[in-house]
Amino acid sequence: MSGSGRVAIEHADRFGKVAVLMGGRSAEREISLMTGEAVHAALRRRGVDAHEIDPGEDIIQRLVSERFDRAWIALHGRGGEDGAIQGALDTAGIPYTGSGVLGSALCMDKLRSKKLFQAAGLSTPEFVVMTAAVDAESVIERLGLPVMVKPACEGSSVGMARVDSVAELVPAWQEAARYDTCVLAERWFEGSEYSAPVLQGAALPIVRIETPRTFYDYEAKYFSDETQYFCPCGLDAELERACQQAALAAFDVTSAGGWGRVDFMMGDDGKPSFLEVNTIPGMTSHSLVPMGAAQVGIDFDELVWRVLETSLQRGAMPDGA
């Protein structure tokens, strides 16, 4: 669960030896390496005994044998955000940053996340689960055009495509199915895209995203200099607070914890429609959580430090913290 309040650590040596887990074998390896390198550099600047670790099959044995005290998880996608590494670290008794097994698994699964949003009374775009025997015309009849097709358990917009005609639907499904057996078709939402960073139980200032591309895809997220970010986001103060509270509710209902990012769309009605919760957001030059943090005076190094503090929520408090 998201929890509240900060477990504040004043001295770097109280964290002990920290493994920055980065890379991995998911489709998001490239971005994970970028995030991990930035996080590692920030921790070292703050005096933390941090080490870059690209995990293999022997990762737990290595962390134990090399006497690591905790892990800053910078692994994106499968094996990093889906609860797998979290479960292994729990078994080994090694504290780590961010969400636990349940929150990681639920947030990685967009289908389960959307069902939880619905159960909690939170709006989310209408969707259909697509199968190998997909009837393209029936999907379009229900959702209309255009639709967004996406694998249920990938991040960074991997495998996603906008579909503008019946003829495009099956090829889009086939591409998404390369990444996951569960594929969603989602009603296209006309409106602005926003992201609410969450840190230690509080929602940070919201970021508005604008891209000239068809949607906020992999290229737009990490590499395009044409993507524009607005923080302050342009919402009036009362509406932004309402969206922040709704984002915290989405974060909580999916059992996310520590830190993360809640993505939503909003149309002219001023009501957020939630897309997903990211439990290990990117920490690159184009990333959104650092933008929101900067608006409240938290620079990148301090943000990385505070994320590391979230590992204390599931481990013993060091003496003299």
User: pLDDT for 231-247, tens place per residue?
Assistant: 999 999 999 999 999 99
pLDDT of residue 265: 94
pLDDT of residue 137: 81
In a domain, 83, yes or no: yes
Q: What CATH number is associated with residue 230? A: 3.30.470.20
Q: Are residues 153 and 203 in the same domain?
A: no
For residue 65, what are the contacts with CB-CB under 8 A and spacing of at least 6? none
Q: Are residues 241 and 115 in the same domain?
A: yes
Q: Which residue has the higher pLDDT, 7 or 289?
A: 289
Catalytic amino acids? 28, 156, 222, 261, 263, 276, 278, 282
The Cα 143–Cα 130 span in angstroms is: 12
Structural domain including 136 reads 127-187
Q: Are residues 23 and 85 in the same domain?
A: yes
pLDDT of residue 53: 98
Mean pLDDT (the chain) is 89
The share of the chain scoring above pLDDT 70, in percent, equals 90
Beta bridge partners of 278: 261
Highest mean pLDDT among 37-51, 127-141, 160-174, 177-191: 37-51
Q: Are residues 201 and 286 in the same domain?
A: yes
Q: What CATH number is associated with residue 143? A: 3.30.1490.20
HEC sequence for the chain: CCCCCCCCCCCHHHHCEEEEECCCCCCCHHHHHHHHHHHHHHHHHCCCEEEEECCCCCHHHHHHHCCCCEEEECCCCCCCCCCHHHHHHHHHCCCECCCCHHHHHHHHCHHHHHHHHHHCCCCCCCEEEECCCCCHHHHHHHHCCCEEEEECCCCCCCCCEEECCHHHHHHHHHHHHCCCCCEEEEECCCCEEEEEEEECCEECCCEEEECCCCCCCHHHHHCCCCCEEECCCCCCHHHHHHHHHHHHHHHHHCCCCCEEEEEEEECCCCCEEEEEEECCCCCCCCCCHHHHHHCCCCCHHHHHHHHHHHHHHHCCCCCCC
Q: Are residues 133 and 215 in the same domain?
A: no
Question: What six digits make up the tokens of 296?
Answer: 């409240």
pLDDT of residue 268: 87
Q: What CATH number is associated with residue 76? A: 3.40.50.20
Mean pLDDT of 10-22: 97
The answer on pLDDT for 197 being more than 90 is yes
Q: Are residues 221 and 140 in the same domain?
A: no
Q: Which residue has the higher pLDDT, 44 or 221?
A: 44
The answer on pLDDT for 47 being more than 60 is yes
* Pairing mode, strands 207-210 and 228-230: antiparallel
From the number of C-beta atoms within 10 Å of its C-beta (0-12, 13-18, 19+), residue 132 rates as exposed
Q: Which residue has the higher pLDDT, 66 or 151?
A: 66
pLDDT of residue 131: 78
Q: Which residue has the higher pLDDT, 34 or 316?
A: 34
pTM of the model: 0.89
Q: Which residue has the higher pLDDT, 195 or 177?
A: 195
Where does a domain end: 155, 187, 219? 187
- As for how many domains the chain has, the answer is 3
Q: Are residues 134 and 68 in the same domain?
A: no
